[in-house]
Each structure stands twice: as structure tokens, then as C-alpha cells.
């Protein structure tokens, strides 16, 4: 609706602009024609004065002055009327104004013929001047009418001057001169028509080109807007950072060369508290690279759901890309899987080596493996090598694409790996956020205003030094919970949470403590926090459904239990909660099939039997 109104408004404005241009063009033509006529009069008057001075004609200076004043005065009146008028110049007004000028010109021409006496044939000069000056503004018909009217008036005025006024001269002689004037004048009229035709063709071509240009600009604007949307979508599928997960802090930087690019990365929580972190760079740029990056990201997510180790993940992604993409495009990638104990398994598929900054020694290590491009060859999976190492508290790992190190400054110098390593070392005493800013600022100062030639992306990963204290609190809380010291356990676990580092185990342990104490509302809070990290965890959904049931929120209890059953087939616990919640919601008919299914799975289930008996008694 808004777009439609915008197009209508733009169309209205364009029509106004076109109308304004037409009025302005008509005014310009009228002013130009008036100027030409004034100029023609002036030339003809100068010629008449020269004839009088040289004694070629017996013309009184008084009459010359009168005709001069009359010709120039009338023409200037027409000129200033057009110039000073604030009204739009319509086509009818333009025609009427030109007709009046033409009549005035014929009258002056006739008077001019009579005044010139024996050199009256010089009046033809006025017609020639008018034709010559207005050549580009007249059609052939208009020019021909001007020629014939001038010739007829010339002969008629000459006949009047000779036969009636008794001036010197010969009418046949005047007719001969006028006849000599006609061929040249008609040729000028023909030229006027040709000029007019060519001008119309040029205008038409110009109008066509302007329309085509306007369409191209509108198309470019549309494409530009579509690219903006695509850019927003592409940035939207990249994870927002900073992210903290089980003691791993992650900061990212992304800048595409164009509106959309071929670099992408992701941080994917995995089973058992593991996290997969990868960075990838698609060959090429623009829309094809962005399309492949989207497919690549989906393939990585699917691969991490079925595989734990980087080599297997890359092998699966390679197969998926070969099945989907039929071009010669490919991508490089570095994949790392970090365990809860900070053991890192990694595989490099022809990407830049990872840089690892050790906190204790301030030394840089590089991690690399063998591995071909992803999506290039069917047997690339056989080349992927996997290695493992450890990260300690405060250690940092930097993953980056080649746009970062291959960027050049105004002197065509490359930023390079050495400068990146120095920058990373210089940031060792900063927190991870400050370190990210330092790397960006150093790189931007080096590159300055030089346009980048590739997409630029990096991930800065750190084992949070504060997480060690969290682990200590978490372990003490776990020990206290098993010793049934629930209040003290909750204090320790809350202390772990207060450190500001997200940890899924803390949420689970707190939920268990609150459930055991009967504090179901507090348990729900922790279970929801955990599900924010693992939305597809059937066990946690079961616990959450039970907690909702105990606070009498039967609607949410039913939803959570149903989802848990969908995630895990024949899951008995949530089946019972789901049935009990439906019964409480006054839907016993929907609860019966669930209880019967539960009895089929566990024939001795007393809760299912009593539920069916209760529903049957109410029905009777």
C-alpha cells in the first residue's frame, strides 16, 4: 500500500515536471523567435540607412526613424510580454501569440516596402532574415506560408507604391526580383522542414534514451534495495557476538567487500557440552558466493547434529555441497570442536592456519592440518586430517579469512601475517573485547582509505580466565547437592552464575536443587535458561513439563511434554505428564490414547491404570 502510494506520488511529480518543462520550452521558443525578429528588423533598418547615406534611395530619415521605432517597439513589446508573464504558456497561447507576431510583421513589411521607394526590393532582406533566424523553429509548411505571404505582400505593396502613390520603379522589375527571391526562400523553407524533422528525431531519441536511463536507474535502485535486504539477511544468519558458552568467550568481526560476501562463520553448541566453531571463505564474491555461503552454513549445521569430530563434519559438508552445487565454486574452512575440558579437535581444509596465543608465555602457535577445499572433489574427505590440542585459561585462538592479511594500504603494502601476529601479542593484557577492538583499529589504520579487495572476517576465541573460579563454585555446589545440603549448594551455584559467564551445567544443577526443594518456579527459570542453549533436549523438556505441572500451569506442561515425546519416541515420563495435564485441562478424551500407549509400553504402570480408571469413573 505504501509502495503504491509512493509510486503514485512519484508519477504525479513526474507529470508536473514534464508539464513545467513544456511551458518553459514554449516560453523559450517565443522569446527566441521574438529576438530573431528584432534582429532581422535591425539588420534591415541598418541596410536602409546605408542606402540613404550612399544616395541609393530617396528615403526621408524621419520615415526611417518612424519605421525603426515601430518595428523594434512592437517586437520588444511582444518580447517583454512573454518574458514577464507568470502564467503557464499553453499551446493555444503560443499559437495565438505567434499569429499576432506574424500579422504585425506582415503589416510592418508592407509599410517597409512603401517607404523604401526605389530600393523597395531591399525589403526582401527582412523576409530573408526572418527565415534564416527562425530556420530551426519553423516547420516546412510554416516557412512556406511565410515565404508566400512575404512574396505576395512584396508585389502588392510595390504595385500600390508605383501605381497609386506614383513612386519610381517598374512593377515587372519588382515582380522579377520577387520571383528571384522565391526559389531561395522555398529552399530555406525546405531546410527549415528538414531541421524540424531532424530536431524531432533527436528529441525523440533523447526522450527514449532518458526513459531508458530512468528505467535503468529505477532498476538499479530496486536491485540496490534488494541487495540491502540480502545483506541484512546474510548478516542475520551470522551469530551475534560476543558469545559465552561453557567458559568459551567469542568475539567476531565481519566486513564484506560488497553488500553481500562469501565469508561466513558459526558457533554451534553440541551434545555433551562441546561447541563447534568454524570459519569459511567461499571462492569468488557477490551473489554466487553469498548463495554458496548460505548453503554451506546449512550444511555445517546439519553435519554437527550427526557428527562430533571436525574431520567427519567437513567430509559430510563436502558431500552435501557436491550434491547441491554444480558449478566450480568451493570453499575453504577451519573447523574446531572444543570440549568442556577445553580440549580442541581441529581440521583445516586449505584455510589460513589458526593462531593460538598462549597466556602464560605470550607466544604464538599455529595450528594446521592437511585437507583439500570443501566442495571441490568427491574424495576430499580422504585428505582431511584431524589433530587435537589443549587450551588453558586465558589462551586465545584467532581464526581469520585471507581478506584480513591480504588487505593493502595506499603504498600497496600488505597487512600480512607478521603484523597480525604482533597485533595479537600486543593485545594479550587486554580483555577479549578490547583485544578485538585493538585488532580492528590497527588494521583500519594500516589500510586507511584504501578500498578492500576481499571480504574480511575474524573470530577471536578465549578460554575465560574467570571460568576457573566458576568451575570451583560449580564443583562445590555439585558435591553439596549430592550430600543433600541443598541450601548451601544453591549458594555455591548462584555464586558461579554471578561471575557473568554462561554455563549450562550450572543451570541444570540449580534446577535439580530447586526441584528437590519443591521450588518449582525457580526450577522453571533455570530450565528455560538451559533450553535457550539446547532447545531440543528431551530430558530437560520433561523436567520442565513436570515443573509446570506442579505450579498448575497445565497448558505449558502439556506443550513441553508433547515436544519431549516428539523428540524421543516412546518417552514414558512426559507421556504421563502430558496425559495428566490434558486431564486437568478438561480434555480426558485426548488423555486416554496417551495413557493406553503408556500401558502398552509399561503394562504395570500404576499411574496409567489409575488415570484410566479415574477418567472412566467420571464418564460413568
- For residues 475-485, give the mean pLDDT: 89
**Alpha-carbon torsion 604, 607, 612, 617, what sign?**
positive
pLDDT classification of 128: cutoffs 50, 70, 90: low
> Are residues 525 and 550 both part of a single domain?
no
pLDDT classification of 15: cutoffs 50, 70, 90: very low
Percentage, residues of the chain above pLDDT 90: 29
Least confident of 157-171, 240-254, 452-466, 527-541: 157-171
Residue 548, domain CATH: 1.25.40.10
- For residues 45-55, give the mean pLDDT: 75
Q: What is the mean pLDDT of the chain?
A: 81
* Residue-level pLDDT at 454: 83
Task: Using alpha carbons, select from 540, 545, 565, 561 the residue that is nearest to residue 271.
Answer: 540
> Are residues 524 and 563 both part of a single domain?
no
What stretch of H or E contains 366?
strand 364-367
Does 226 fall in a domain? no
pLDDT classification of 131: cutoffs 50, 70, 90: low
- Reply yes or no on whether the pLDDT at 581 is more than 80: yes
Least confident of 150-154, 265-269, 447-451, 583-587: 150-154
| E-state strands within 443-538 | 456-463
560 vs 548: CA distance, rounded Å: 9
> Are residues 588 and 522 both part of a single domain?
no
Q: How far is CA 523 from CA 471, 494, 514, 526, 531, in A?
A: 21, 13, 5, 5, 12
- For residues 159-177, give the mean pLDDT: 78
550 vs 561: CA distance, rounded Å: 13
Q: How far is CA 387 from CA 269, 273, 341, 451, 458, in A?
A: 20, 20, 16, 37, 21
Residue 387, domain CATH: 3.60.40.10
Contact 320, 302 (CB under 8 A): yes
Domain end call among 447, 464, 481: 464
Q: How would you class 428 by CB atoms within 10 Å of its CB: exposed for 0-12, middle for 13-18, buried for 19 or more? A: middle
> Are residues 274 and 403 both part of a single domain?
yes
Does 325 fall in a domain? yes
The residue with greater pLDDT, 507 or 73, is 507
Half-sphere exposure of 46 (CA within 13 A, CB side): 7
Does 233 fall in a domain? no
Domain end call among 464, 488, 523: 464
Span 184-239, pLDDT tens digits = 667 666 766 676 777 777 778 888 888 888 888 887 777 667 666 656 665 667 78
The residue with greater pLDDT, 588 or 97, is 588
pLDDT classification of 501: cutoffs 50, 70, 90: low
Does 448 fall in a domain? yes
> Are residues 403 and 298 both part of a single domain?
yes
Does 310 fall in a domain? yes
> Are residues 317 and 293 both part of a single domain?
yes
Report DSSP letters for 415-432, one per residue.
Answer: -HHHHHHHHHHHTTTS-H
pLDDT classification of 611: cutoffs 50, 70, 90: confident
- Reply yes or no on whether the pLDDT at 595 is more than 80: yes
Half-sphere exposure of 259 (CA within 13 A, CB side): 12
Task: Using alpha carbons, select from 457, 425, 461, 463 the residue that is nearest to residue 440.
Answer: 457
273 vs 474: CA distance, rounded Å: 15
> Are residues 252 and 382 both part of a single domain?
yes
Tell me which long-range contacts 409-413 makes (C-beta under 8 A, separation of at least 24): 409/446, 409/447, 409/448, 409/450, 410/448, 410/449, 410/450
> Are residues 348 and 439 both part of a single domain?
yes
> Are residues 254 and 383 both part of a single domain?
yes
Does 229 fall in a domain? no
> Are residues 359 and 432 both part of a single domain?
yes
Q: How would you class 323 by CB atoms within 10 Å of its CB: exposed for 0-12, middle for 13-18, buried for 19 or more? A: exposed
Does 231 fall in a domain? no
Number of domain units in the chain:
4
> Are residues 565 and 524 both part of a single domain?
no
Contact 137, 33 (CB under 8 A): yes
DSSP class of 452: P
Contact 316, 360 (CB under 8 A): no
100 vs 36: CA distance, rounded Å: 15
* Residue-level pLDDT at 342: 93
> Are residues 15 and 106 both part of a single domain?
yes
Q: Are strands 343-349 and 364-367 parallel, antiparallel or unpaired?
A: unpaired
The residue to which cell 527549415 is assigned: 192
Does 44 fall in a domain? yes
The residue with greater pLDDT, 1 or 190, is 190
Domain end call among 506, 532, 558: 532
Span 301-360, pLDDT tens digits = 999 988 999 999 999 999 998 888 877 788 999 999 999 889 999 999 999 999 999 999
Q: Which three cell numbers stand for residue 520?
A: 518449582
Domain of 431, in residue numbers? 242-464
- Reply yes or no on whether the pLDDT at 559 is more than 60: yes
85 vs 425: CA distance, rounded Å: 77
Amino acid at each position: 500500500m505504501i509502495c503504491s502510494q509512493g509510486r503514485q506520488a512519484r508519477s504525479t511529480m513526474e507529470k508536473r515536471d514534464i508539464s513545467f518543462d513544456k511551458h518553459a520550452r514554449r516560453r523559450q521558443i517565443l522569446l527566441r523567435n521574438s529576438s530573431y525578429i528584432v534582429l532581422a528588423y535591425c539588420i534591415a533598418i541598418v541596410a536602409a540607412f546605408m542606402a540613404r547615406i550612399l544616395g541609393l534611395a530617396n528615403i526621408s530619415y524621419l520615415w526611417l526613424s518612424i519605421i525603426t521605432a515601430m518595428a523594434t517597439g512592437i517586437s520588444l513589446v511582444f518580447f517583454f510580454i512573454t518574458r514577464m508573464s507568470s502564467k503557464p504558456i499553453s499551446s493555444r497561447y503560443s499559437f495565438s501569440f505567434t499569429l499576432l507576431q506574424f500579422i504585425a510583421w506582415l503589416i510592418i513589411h508592407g509599410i517597409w516596402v512603401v517607404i523604401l521607394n526605389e530600393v523597395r526590393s531591399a525589403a526582401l532582406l527582412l523576409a530573408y532574415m526572418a527565415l534564416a533566424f527562425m530556420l530551426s523553429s519553423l516547420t516546412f509548411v510554416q516557412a512556406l506560408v511565410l515565404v508566400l505571404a512575404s512574396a505576395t505582400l512584396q508585389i502588392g505593396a510595390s504595385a500600390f507604391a508605383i501605381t497609386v502613390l506614383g513612386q519610381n520603379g517598374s512593377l515587372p522589375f519588382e515582380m522579377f526580383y520577387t520571383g528571384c527571391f522565391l526559389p531561395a526562400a522555398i529552399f530555406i523553407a525546405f531546410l527549415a522542414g528538414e531541421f524540424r524533422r531532424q530536431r524531432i528525431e533527436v528529441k525523440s531519441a533523447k526522450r527514449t534514451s532518458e526513459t531508458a536511463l530512468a528505467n535503468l536507474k529505477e532498476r538499479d535502485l530496486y536491485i540496490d534495495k534488494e541487495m540491502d535486504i540480502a545483506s541484512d539477511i546474510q548478516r542475520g544468519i551470522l551469530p551475534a557476538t560476543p558469545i559465552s558458552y561453557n567458559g568459551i568467550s567469542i568475539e567476531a568481526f565481519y566486513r564484506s567487500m560488497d553488500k553481500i560476501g562469501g565469508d561466513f562463520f558459526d558457533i554451534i553448541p553440541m551434545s555433551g557440552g562441546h561447541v563447534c566453531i568454524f570459519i569459511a571463505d567461499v571462492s569468488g564474491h557477490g551473489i554466487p558466493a553469498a548463495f554458496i555461503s548460505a548453503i554451506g552454513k546449512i550444511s555445517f549445521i546439519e553435519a554437527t547434529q550427526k557428527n562430533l569430530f571436525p574431520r567427519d563434519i567437513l567430509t559430510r559438508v563436502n558431500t552435501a555441497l557436491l550434491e547441491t552445487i554444480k558449478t566450480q565454486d568451493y570453499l575453504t574452512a577451519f573447523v574446531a570442536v572444543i570440549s568442556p575440558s577445553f580440549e580442541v579437535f581441529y581440521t583445516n581444509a586449505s584455510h589460513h592456519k589458526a593462531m593460538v596465543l598462549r597466556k602464560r608465555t605470550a607466544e604464538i602457535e599455529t595450528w594446521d592440518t592437511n585437507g583439500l577445499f570443501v566442495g571441490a572433489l568427491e574424495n576430499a574427505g580422504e585428505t582431511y586430517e584431524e589433530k587435537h590440542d589443549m587450551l588453558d585459561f586465558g589462551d586465545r585462538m584467532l581464526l581469520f579469512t585471507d581478506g584480513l592479511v591480504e588487505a593493502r594500504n595506499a603504498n600497496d603494502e600488505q597487512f600480512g601475517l607478521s603484523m597480525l601476529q604482533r597485533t595479537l601479542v600486543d593485545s594479550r593484557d587486554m580483555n577479549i573485547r578490547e583485544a578485538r577492538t585493538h585488532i580492528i583499529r590497527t588494521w583500519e589504520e594500516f589500510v586507511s582509505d584504501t578500498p578492500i579487495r576481499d571480504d574480511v572476517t575474524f573470530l577471536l576465541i578465549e578460554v575465560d580466565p574467570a571460568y576457573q573460579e566458576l568451575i570451583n563454585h560449580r564443583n562445590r555446589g555439585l558435591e553439596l547437592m549430592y550430600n543433600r545440603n541443598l541450601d548451601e549448594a544453591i549458594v555455591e551455584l548462584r555464586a558461579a552464575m554471578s561471575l557473568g559467564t554462561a554455563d549450562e551445567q550450572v543451570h541444570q544443577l540449580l534446577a535439580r536443587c530447586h526441584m528437590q526443594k519443591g521450588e518449582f518456579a525457580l526450577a522453571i527459570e533455570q530450565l528455560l535458561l538451559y533450553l535457550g542453549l539446547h532447545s531440543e533436549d528431551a530430558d530437560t523438556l520433561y523436567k520442565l513439563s513436570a515443573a509446570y505441572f506442579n505450579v498448575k500451569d497445565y497448558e505449558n506442561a502439556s506443550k513441553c511434554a508433547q515436544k519431549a515425546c516428539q523428540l524421543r519416541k516412546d518417552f514414558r515420563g512426559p507421556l504421563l505428564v502430558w496425559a495428566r495435564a490434558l486431564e486437568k485441562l478438561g480434555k480426558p478424551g485426548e488423555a486416554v490414547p496417551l495413557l493406553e500407549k503408556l500401558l502398552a509400553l509399561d503394562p504395570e504402570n500404576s499411574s496409567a491404570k489409575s488415570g484410566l480408571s479415574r477418567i472412566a469413573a467420571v464418564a460413568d
